[in-house]
Homo-oligomer: A and B are copies of this chain.
Amino acid sequence: MALEKLRKEETLAMRKRLIGQSLRLFYSEDPVKIVRARGQYLFDESGKRYLDCISNVHHVGHCHPRITKAAAAQMELLNTNSRFLHDNIVLYADRLAATLPERLCVFYFVNSGSEANDLALRLSRQYTQHEDVIVIDHAYHGHLMSLIDISPYKFRKLAGQKEWVHVAPLPDTYRGIYQEGHPNPGQAYADTVKDLIEEVHSKGRKVHFNTDPYSFTKICDIQNSHPGGVFVADEVQTGFGRVGNHFWAFQLQGEDFCPDIVTMGKPMGNGHPLACVATTAEIARAFTDNGVEYFNTFGGNPVSCAIGMAVLDVIEEEDLRGNAIRVGAHLKDLLAKLQTRHEIIGDIRGVGLFVGLELVTDKEKKTPATERAAWVVKRLKEEHQICVSTDGPWESVVKFKPPMCFSMEDAELVVQCIDGILTEDAFSDTKPINH
């Protein structure tokens, strides 16, 4: 197979003409054309190699031969729908169940994290018979209409906030409403949620929580004090061992905590469209009892499940969680050392191989250094062929979520390059910055 079928300019021209422009390109000023990838490396049409710190979806590494082999073998044999009995769907569900608390024992397979979050909403509404939802500020739960309604990151720019949506503050101890100096920020953030719950209850209604569990604190406390609500842990970004010490981010909350629904997606199929909802027998029963069939044409097909199982195999056999612990810690240590030398580094946070480096123009005022963050991304790509992205309400956080095979040497290289850029950048303040 020829690696490039069109000249880059032609690809770009066709893309502008044929593909909806709401779908944006990375590095839109000078987009990268990637034709090949392996492990944590991307290769462009000229053979230039990029270190990939962006592709959390390609969890066990790009084009892992084990995954390709499993997919091709099952594609040759059978890829029918889940209305026929098949071993793969039940064996895969069983393997996922082994990673979760015992009460999360019923599975629904779908094709994307968005489909999973939409189904989670349906399940929890059917169970509670109420529609109120508490979400965390700045959250994004997916691109579907139902999910834009519960994603402050999107609805603020679109249809606005629905009456039944309640937004809790982002539990950010760096620049949130309760910061490091506070005696008990975890409790204080939990109390903001409790207040929202009381408000909903005072109207005689029940509530669902929908959150990225990684960012939250004292969830267990909230859950225990308000039985009857449904807690949805959105593990689409954070699951499958990315946080290192645990398979699921919600497990960072301790053993006492168990969500009522867990949604999973992105890394689950290493790029193959595969996602899932896990829930309790009780919630599943309420959904079945409405008497309406739920059928997802592609969800849980034998090929998707074969790929999902191969991903679990590789995570275990290559000890990728162990790698996330070791390399993630090393990356944070190196960034912490960098912070002592660069005033612009405001905060370093994250767990496992999900790490953020927040840049500020003023350390006291914590003024977001949005332009500088974009500049770092641009320079890392242009000078060093390293792909990173920005995130956060002000796009001031340089984010690392590489394939889980990211190495100690990769971490060292990235930090060394950032060091160089920040050092040199101190002299370029007067240059106009285009991004």
Contact = CB atoms under 8 A, between A and B. Distances in A.
A177 interface: no
Interface in A278-305: 279, 284, 287-288, 290-298, 300-301, 303-304
Residue of A34, A42, A85, A93 with most chain B CB atoms under a 10 A cut-off: A85
Given A24-B295, A271-B303, A304-B273, A107 B19 contact: yes
A25 B86 CA distance: 11
A20 interface: yes
A408 interface: no
A251 to B, nearest CB: 21
B108 A297 contact: no
Nearest to A14: B90
A85 B11 contact: yes
A15 interface: yes
A37 interface: yes
Nearest to A2: B87
Nearest to A1: B73
A419 to B, nearest CB: 27
Interface in A374-393: none
- Indicate how many identical chains form the complex: 2
Given A78-B62, A90-B15, A157-B292, A85 B144 contact: no
Contacts of A94: 14, 18
A18 B91 CA distance: 9
A242 to B, nearest CB: 15
Nearest to A270: B79
A20 B19 CA distance: 37
A184 to B, nearest CB: 37
Given A11-B86, A115-B144, A19 B93 contact: yes
A399 B274 CA distance: 29
Interface residues of A, number: 103
Given A20-B294, A71-B71, A42 B80 contact: yes
Interface string A235-277: 0000000000000000000000000000001100011111000
A30 B235 CA distance: 36
A154 B271 contact: no
A112 interface: yes
A4 B112 contact: no
Contact of A112 (B25, B34, B63, B296): B296
B111 A273 contact: yes
A192 interface: no
A85 B34 contact: yes
Contact of A290 (B8, B12, B158, B266): B158
A83 B144 contact: no
Contacts of A144: 115, 118, 144-146
B288 A57 contact: no
A203 interface: no
A63 B72 CA distance: 10
A76 interface: yes
A5 B154 contact: no
A113 interface: yes
Contacts of A433: none
B85 A18 contact: no
Contact of A301 (B75, B82, B271, B297): B271
17 contacts: A15-B90, A19-B82, A21-B284, A22-B294, A23-B82, A23-B108, A31-B85, A32-B84, A32-B85, A37-B80, A63-B77, A67-B75, A72-B75, A79-B272, A112-B298, A115-B144, A271-B298
Interface of A: 1, 3-6, 8, 11-12, 14-15, 17-26, 31-37, 42, 55, 57-58, 62-63, 65, 67-68, 71-87, 89-91, 93-94, 97, 105-108, 111-115, 118-119, 121-122, 143-146, 154, 157-158, 265-266, 270-274, 279, 284, 287-288, 290-298, 300-301, 303-304
